[in-house]
Amino acid sequence: MTLLYRQAGLLGLCQPTEVRPEWGFKANDSKLMERALGIPISPIPAARKASARAALVDLQEPTRQILSECFRQFGVEPVAMTGDVADRLQKEKFEACVLNLAADVQPVMQAVRTSASNSRMVIYGLGKSAQEAMRYSRYGINAIFNLPLDRPAALKLVRATQMLVLHEFRRYVRIPVITEVAVSTVEGARFTATSREISSGGMSLSSAQEAAPGAPVEISFALLTLPRIWVRGTVSWRRGKLFGVHFDPQDERRSRIKLWIDGYLES
C-alpha cells in the first residue's frame, strides 16, 4: 500500500502514515512526523503525462517557473493566469490553483468555491507563513508554499498533495485544510489554534498555547460548506506547537464532520 506523505509534509508539519480508516493520534505519530522532516527527498520521478491542471494566478518569475516544474513532475499541467481570473475559474475546469496571499485574492477564492466545477479544487496559498492564510480560512486553503520559495520544499509539498490534486481521494482519509479553531478546556481556558489536517476521527492543530496530552477539550470550527460545529475530544499527542485532538466517539456531533468528509471525497 502506498504511503501517504512519504518524505514530505504539508506546511512542513504533516506526518507520513499508512492508510487508516480514522486518525487515532497515537503518541508515536509525532515520531513519524519528526522522521519525515529529516528525511532527504527521494529521486524525482520522470515527468508523466498531465491528467490535471493547476492555475498559477498572478505569480512572478522565478516563482512561477519553479512551481511549474514541480507540478509537471507529478503529472499536473501548470497554467499561468493573469488579469481577471475569477471569471475563467468559474467557467473552466481546474484541479488546483496557487494564489499569492499578499494580493487581494478573496474574489478569486469566492469564484472558485462557488463554481460548479471547481468548488472542491485544491487551493495552495503562497505566503510567508500559515498565519497569512487565516484571513481566508472560510474558503478552506489546503496548503501553503512558504516564501521565499525553495524548490526542494516546493517539491515536498506537491508530492504530499499530488493525490488530492489528481482526485485519488478515496485512498486517504486525512484532508489538509487551514482554518481557525477555537479550543476550550475543562478548566475554562480558551485559545485559538490553526488546523493542519482533519479526518472523521480527529484533527491536527498548531498553537503556542499549552495543550497537554490526555486533556479533554471542546473545539469549534467551520469548513467551507460545513457551518460552525462544536465537538468534544482529547489531546492525544503534542510535539512543539503541533498537537492532535481525537474526537470523542460518543459525541454525536462528530457525524456531521464525517458527512462533510464523505461529501468532499465524493465531489
Cell 512519504: give the residue: 6
225 and 205 in contact (C-beta within 8 Å)?
A: no
Query: Burial code of 80-98, b = ≥16 C-beta within 10 A, e = fewer?
Result: ebeeebbebbbeeebbbbb
At residue 78, the pLDDT reads 96
At residue 173, the pLDDT reads 64
182 has which bridge partners?
192, 220
Q: Look at residue 127 and tell me whether its pLDDT is greater than 90.
A: yes
Work out the average pLDDT over 148-176: 81
Work out the average pLDDT over 85-111: 92
Work out the average pLDDT over 79-91: 90
100 has which bridge partners?
126
Q: Look at residue 265 and tell me whether its pLDDT is greater than 80.
A: no
* Closest-CA residue to 223 (of 253, 190, 261): 261
Q: What is the DSSP secondary-structure string of 175-211?
A: EE-B-EEEEEETTS-EEEEEEEEE-SSEEEEE-SS--
Type of residue found at 170: R
What angle do helix axes 151-165 and 63-73 make, rounded to 10 degrees? 50
For the ranges 126-135, 169-178, 209-218, 251-260, the lowest mean pLDDT is seen at 169-178
**What residue ranges define each of the domains in the chain, with the CATH number in brackets?**
176-266 (2.40.10.220)
Looking at every residue in the chain, the average pLDDT score rounds to: 80
Type of residue found at 259: L
CA 98 to CA 85: how far, in whole Å? 12
At residue 12, the pLDDT reads 37
237 and 29 in contact (C-beta within 8 Å)?
A: yes
For the ranges 24-38, 97-111, 182-196, the lowest mean pLDDT is seen at 24-38
Share of the chain above pLDDT 70, in %: 77
Output 262 or 89, whichever has higher pLDDT: 89
For the ranges 55-59, 143-147, 160-164, the lowest mean pLDDT is seen at 160-164
Q: Look at residue 47 and tell me whether its pLDDT is greater than 60.
A: no
CA 251 to CA 99: how far, in whole Å? 37
Work out the average pLDDT over 84-106: 91
Q: Look at residue 50 and tell me whether its pLDDT is greater than 50.
A: no
Work out the average pLDDT over 212-224: 92
Q: State pTM to two decimals.
A: 0.56
What digits encode the pLDDT tens for the residues 10-22? Answer: 443 333 333 333 3
At residue 39, the pLDDT reads 39
Output 34 or 222, whichever has higher pLDDT: 222
Work out the average pLDDT over 106-114: 92
Whether the bond between 213 and the residue before it is cis, its omega within 30 degrees of 0, is no
At residue 5, the pLDDT reads 34
